[in-house]
Amino acid sequence: MKTKIFLFFLCHLSISVFSQNSKNIDSLISIAKIAKDDTSKSNLLNKISTTYLEIDLEKSLDFAKRSLALSEKLGYKKGIANAYFLMGNICNYKAEHLEAISWYKKSLAIRKELFLMPDVGQTYSSIGYCYEDMGNFPEAKKNYIASLKIREQLKDKIGIAKCNSNIGTVYYQNQNLPEALKYLLPALKVFEEFGDKRMIAAVSHNVGTIYMYQNKPEAIDFLQKALKINEEMGNRFWITSNLGSMSELYRRQGNLPEAEKCLKSAFKILEESGQKEGMVNIYNLLSQLNMSQKKYDEARTNLNKALTLAIRSNSITRRQICYDHLAELEQAVGNHKKALEYFKLSIILRDSVFSKENIKKMTQQQMQYDFDKKETLAKEAQERKDILIQNEIQSQKNLRNAFVGGFILVLLAASLFFFQRNKINKEKKRSDQLLHLVEEKHKEITDSINYAERIQRSFIATKEILDENLKDHFVFFKPKDIVSGDFYWAGKLSNGNFVLVTADSTGHGVPGAIMSLLNITSLESAIKDGFTSPSEILNDTRKTIIERLKKDGTTEGGKDGMDASLISFDFKNNRFTYSAANNPVWIVRENQIIELDPDKMPVGKHDRDYVSFTQHEFVLQKNDVVYTLTDGMPDQFGGPKGKKFLYKRLKELLITISDASMEIQKQKLDVALNDWKGNKEQVDDVCIVGVRI
Residue 630 CA: distances (Å) to CA of 13, 95, 331, 504, 598: 35, 46, 72, 6, 12
Contacts of 662 (CB under 8 A, 6+ apart): 472, 473, 474, 690, 692
pLDDT the model gives residue 393: 56
The residue range of the domain holding 83 is 21-116
- Helical packing angle, 77-93 and 97-113, nearest 10°: 160
**C-alpha to C-alpha distance for 558 and 581, rounded to whole angstroms:** 18
Sheet order of strands, 625-629 included: 473-478, 686-692, 625-629, 585-589, 592-596
Provide the mean pLDDT of the chain. 82
- Of 116, 133, 167, which marks where a domain is finished? 116
- List, for residues 217-257, the tens digit of each pLDDT value: 899 899 999 999 988 888 777 888 889 888 888 888 888 99
Per DSSP, the three-state class of 434 is: helix
pLDDT the model gives residue 603: 95
Cβ atoms of 591 and 655 closer than 8 Å:
yes
Does residue 624 belong to any structural domain of this protein? yes
- Of 116, 134, 167, which marks where a domain is finished? 116
Residue 248 CA: distances (Å) to CA of 91, 234, 239, 260, 569: 27, 22, 14, 10, 50
Instruction: Tell me which of 433 and 343 has the higher pLDDT.
Output: 343
Q: Which of 11-20, 104-113, 581-590 has the lowest mean pLDDT?
A: 11-20
Does residue 547 belong to any structural domain of this protein? yes
Does residue 199 belong to any structural domain of this protein? no
Does residue 565 belong to any structural domain of this protein? yes
CA 455 to mean position of chain CA atoms: 41
Q: Which of 90-94, 501-505, 647-651 has the lowest mean pLDDT?
A: 90-94
Cβ atoms of 535 and 579 closer than 8 Å:
yes
Can you give the CATH number for the domain in which 94 is found? 1.25.40.10
* Band of pLDDT at residue 497, cut at 50, 70 and 90: very high
* Count of C-beta atoms within a 10 Å radius of residue 106: 18
* Band of pLDDT at residue 558, cut at 50, 70 and 90: low
Rounded mean pLDDT of 403-407?
48
Does residue 342 belong to any structural domain of this protein? no
Which among 233, 230, 236, 176 is positioned nearest to 203, based on CA atoms?
A: 230
Rounded mean pLDDT of 347-363?
54
Number of helical (H) and strand (E) elements in the chain, helices listed first: 23, 13
Does residue 396 belong to any structural domain of this protein? no
- List, for residues 263-283, the tens digit of each pLDDT value: 888 888 887 766 666 778 888
**C-alpha to C-alpha distance for 452 and 454, rounded to whole angstroms:** 5
Rounded mean pLDDT of 588-597?
92
> pLDDT at residue 127 above 50?
yes
**C-alpha to C-alpha distance for 144 and 129, rounded to whole angstroms:** 8
Does residue 482 belong to any structural domain of this protein? yes
Per DSSP, the three-state class of 687 is: strand
* Band of pLDDT at residue 533, cut at 50, 70 and 90: very high
Does residue 103 belong to any structural domain of this protein? yes
pLDDT the model gives residue 386: 57
- Of 56, 87, 116, which marks where a domain is finished? 116
**C-alpha to C-alpha distance for 34 and 76, rounded to whole angstroms:** 20
Q: Which range is most confident: 152-161, 267-276, 660-669? A: 660-669
Percent of all residues in the chain with a pLDDT value above 70, rounded to a whole number: 78
As for how many domains the chain has, the answer is: 2
- Identify the bridge partners of residue 629 per DSSP, sorted by sequence position: 688
Can you give the CATH number for the domain in which 483 is found? 3.60.40.10
Which among 94, 87, 158, 162 is positioned nearest to 124, based on CA atoms?
A: 162
**C-alpha to C-alpha distance for 318 and 99, rounded to whole angstroms:** 18
> pLDDT at residue 137 above 90?
no
